[in-house]
């Protein structure tokens, strides 16, 4: 049984991952800033409202779990969002929101939980994207945030190889509410069907579980998973 923190747990990849982790007998703390998740504790599952952009909120979760669980073993940085728009027409508040959530939020969680993860010889899983390695039109700023996620994972791998394991999970398009954040109606129409034909959240969750359950002698540093378009 592992003690696991999962951000962005209320929908999509996070919700699918939570179901798998709990079914395997782990203790999972589900963090989300949506759907009114106040505090729920079933013994195996704790759900709390937490905005990863707010460091004080993340630190309070860390402090609480240190008292109640004695620390954590796995941190899954899944919270993230994206907006499709051109560089010319992109909204500055959307650019900032992507960096605040996808990069600063991830850093807030790493900073708050890293001491406990080092103590437990734990594992950090950062949800990147194929956009961690490639820049696509109409999503350049989003791609920049996912490049940053990959770089942060690599920095941890290089600096703390004997302290924690770190894995980047890099999916292609996934059929989740992700696309609904886009406020540009033309872009939303253009990409909606593409994402609907993408991976299921469960397919990505299975890869997260695979990385967590890898033998202790090994470290899966990255998993890139794309939809099988031949099956669509």
H helix intervals, the chain = 12-23, 55-68, 92-99, 106-120, 140-159, 185-196, 201-212
**Catalytic residue of the set 55, 142, 191, 194:** 142
Active site residue 191: no
Q: Which two tokens stand for residue 197?
A: 């034909």
Q: Please provide residue 78's backbone torsions phi and psi, each rounded to the nearest 5 degrees.
A: -105, -20
Q: Which two tokens stand for residue 174?
A: 């996934």
CA–CA distance, 102 with 204 (Å, rounded to integer): 18
Measured CA angle at 73 (ends 72, 77), to 5 deg: 85
CA–CA distance, 189 with 84 (Å, rounded to integer): 11
* Longest CA span, the chain: 50
Q: Which residue has the tokens 């890293």?
A: 114
Q: Which residue has the tokens 């509410």?
A: 177
Catalytic residues: 142
């Amino acid at each position: 049984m592992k003690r696991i923190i999962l951000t962005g747990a209320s929908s999509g990849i996070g919700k699918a991952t939570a179901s798998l982790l709990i079914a395997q007998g782990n203790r999972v703390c589900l963090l989300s800033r949506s759907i009114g998740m106040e505090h729920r504790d079933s013994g195996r599952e704790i759900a709390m409202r937490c905005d990863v952009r707010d460091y004080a909120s993340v630190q309070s979760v860390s402090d609480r779990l240190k008292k109640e669980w004695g620390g954590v073993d796995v941190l899954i940085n899944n919270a993230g969002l994206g907006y499709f728009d051109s560089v010319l027409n992109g909204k500055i508040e959307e650019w900032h929101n992507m960096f605040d959530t996808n990069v600063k939020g991830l850093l807030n969680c790493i900073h708050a939980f890293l001491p406990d993860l080092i103590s437990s010889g734990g594992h950090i899983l950062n949800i990147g994207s194929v956009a961690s390695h490639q820049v696509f039109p109409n999503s350049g700023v989003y791609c920049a945030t996912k490049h940053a996620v990959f770089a942060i994972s690599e920095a941890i791998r290089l600096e703390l190889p004997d302290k924690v394991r770190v894995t980047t999970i890099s999916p292609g398009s996934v059929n989740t509410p992700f696309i609904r954040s886009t406020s540009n109606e033309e872009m939303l129409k253009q990409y909606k069907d593409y994402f609907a034909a993408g991976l299921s959240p469960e397919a990505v969750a299975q890869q997260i579980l695979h990385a967590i359950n890898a033998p202790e002698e090994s470290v899966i540093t990255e998993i890139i998973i794309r939809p099988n378009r031949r099956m669509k």
